[in-house]
Amino acid sequence: MFVHTVFFWLNHPDNQADQDALRAGLETLKSIDAIHAAYIGKPAGTRRAVIDYSYDFSITFIFTDQAAQDIYQEHPTHLKFVADCAHLWSRVQVYDAVE
């Protein structure tokens, strides 16, 4: 398994239109066949010293292997998402893990 987790910080986190636009863009990614499982979320209400809750949205996508993740990276839907939504965020942090 290949786990791809991405955190997004919005330029304008209090702007509901920007939140809606990013969420809608993230939802389009779920249609990519290479993704085995997909989760889109916002920070939970948990507050402990070890938790970073400064981000606005996150995705966790599970792929069967790195080859499937590589397909996702070059998929037209993913490339369109980046082109359409990159102006919304100030920071993106990616964590990839393999089992």
Q: How does pLDDT run across 56-98, given as a tens digit for each residue? A: 999 999 999 999 999 999 999 999 999 999 999 999 999 999 9
Run of H or E residues at 58 = strand 57-63
CATH number (domain holding residue 35):
3.30.70.100
Question: For 47-59, b where at least 16 C-beta lie within 10 A, e where not — what string?
Answer: eeeeeeeebbbbb
Domain range spanning residue 47? 2-60+67-98
Looking at the structure of the chain, the number of domains it has is: 1
CB atoms within 10 A of CB 29: 19
Q: Is the full-model pTM beyond 0.85? A: yes
